[in-house]
């Protein structure tokens, strides 16, 4: 076997398995994914437009009746919209884009390259995190124009953004797993929309949990997105956080631990 200087295939594969090599290859593939999104920004735009539409409709249709004023209701609603900006993108775009690439044979070419086997998946999800960040930044701009102001400080606001991004990153592995498991992109899209309704709306997004019907309170109290929204609300507006931040981190870690290895193992087996 030749040494590293010769650049033999065996040496290249060995290098690809190192953590530094895996990260470098993942970042390169993330750049590819972002370049593709720049040419076809539909999914990224949807990740901004849908939460923005929810925010506009809820504030101006229900703000006066729920909170007494649109400004007060925006203060309550906006932190949940920030979580939606990352979570919605994670549920609707991550697995779908992977599934489409796999059907086109793009990932078959990736498998022939001397890169880490998980690099294509990790690169795709890292690119999604950049898209989540852009979506959240745009939502902050829209919220500011509507009158929302952070009630805490810059560190807490950045913590809310980081928590939402981390939560979206972990949540996206669910649809990544589905994207590499099934052959039909329609099934991935259907799963995303079906899960969106109960996960996003069965929460404290539009109204406090204690104002919901009893059966819906039970679901909202165990829904991890409720905890993420409550944590974001505490960090942005100064309401009592309780254990919402800790629960969000726990749910995020559990989701990542379960679905990331499952997605990578399914991808490595092939379809």
CA-CA distance, 237 to 224, in Å (whole number)?
A: 20
What digits encode the pLDDT tens for the residues 58-89? 999 888 877 788 999 999 999 999 998 887 66
- Asked if the structure places residue 9 within a domain, the reply is no
Query: Is the pLDDT assigned to residue 223 strictly greater than 80?
Result: yes
- Asked if the structure places residue 109 within a domain, the reply is yes
Q: Would you state the pLDDT for residue 241? A: 83
Domain range for 226:
22-269
Q: Would you state the pLDDT for residue 88? A: 67
CA-CA distance, 20 to 24, in Å (whole number)?
A: 6
CA dihedral 65, 66, 72, 75 (to 10 degrees): -140
Query: Is the pLDDT assigned to residue 10 strictly greater than 50?
Result: no
CA-CA distance, 79 to 217, in Å (whole number)?
A: 20
- Asked if the structure places residue 229 within a domain, the reply is yes
CA-CA distance, 229 to 79, in Å (whole number)?
A: 6
Q: DSSP code of 41?
A: T
Mean pLDDT highest for which of 20-34, 168-182, 242-256?
A: 242-256
CA dihedral 90, 93, 99, 100 (to 10 degrees): -160
Query: Is the pLDDT assigned to residue 12 strictly greater than 60?
Result: no
Query: Is the pLDDT assigned to residue 7 strictly greater than 50?
Result: no
Neighbours of 249 (CB within 10 A): 17
Contacts of 92 (CB under 8 A, 6+ apart): 43, 46, 47, 175, 189, 192, 193, 196
**Integer CA distances (angstroms), 27 to 47, 86, 100, 170, in order:** 22, 20, 20, 18
CA-CA distance, 201 to 196, in Å (whole number)?
A: 8
Percent of the chain, pLDDT > 90? 37
What digits encode the pLDDT tens for the residues 104-138? 777 777 777 778 778 888 888 888 888 888 889 99
- Asked if the structure places residue 3 within a domain, the reply is no
Q: Are 73 and 148 in contact (CB under 8 A)?
A: no
Q: Are 102 and 179 in contact (CB under 8 A)?
A: yes
Q: For the chain, what is the domain count?
A: 1
Location of structure tokens 């901004």? 48
């Amino acid at each position: 076997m030749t040494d590293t200087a010769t650049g033999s295939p065996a040496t290249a594969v060995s290098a690809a398995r190192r953590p530094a090599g895996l990260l470098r290859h993942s970042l390169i593939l993330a750049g590819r994914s972002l370049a593709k999104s720049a040419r076809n920004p539909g999914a990224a735009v949807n990740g901004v437009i849908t939460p923005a539409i929810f925010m506009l409709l809820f504030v101006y249709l229900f703000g006066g009746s729920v909170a007494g004023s649109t400004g007060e209701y925006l203060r309550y609603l906006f932190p949940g919209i920030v979580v939606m900006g990352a979570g919605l993108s994670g549920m609707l775009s991550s697995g779908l884009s992977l599934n489409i690439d796999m059907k086109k044979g793009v990932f078959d070419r990736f498998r022939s390259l001397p890169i880490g086997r998980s690099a294509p998946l990790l690169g795709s999800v890292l690119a999604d995190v950049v898209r989540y960040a852009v979506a959240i930044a745009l939502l902050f701009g829209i919220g500011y124009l509507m009158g929302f102001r952070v009630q805490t400080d810059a560190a807490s606001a950045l913590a809310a953004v980081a928590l939402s991004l981390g939560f979206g990153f972990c949540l996206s592995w669910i649809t990544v797993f589905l994207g590499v498991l099934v052959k039909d992109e329609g099934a991935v899209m259907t799963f995303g929309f079906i899960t969106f309704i109960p996960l996003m709306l069965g929460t404290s997004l539009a109204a406090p949990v204690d104002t919901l019907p009893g059966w819906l309170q039970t679901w909202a109290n165990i829904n991890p997105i409720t905890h993420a929204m409550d944590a974001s609300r505490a960090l942005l507006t100064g309401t009592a956080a309780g254990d919402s931040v800790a629960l969000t981190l726990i749910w995020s870690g559990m989701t990542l631990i379960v679905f990331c290895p499952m997605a990578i193992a399914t991808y490595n087996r092939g379809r």
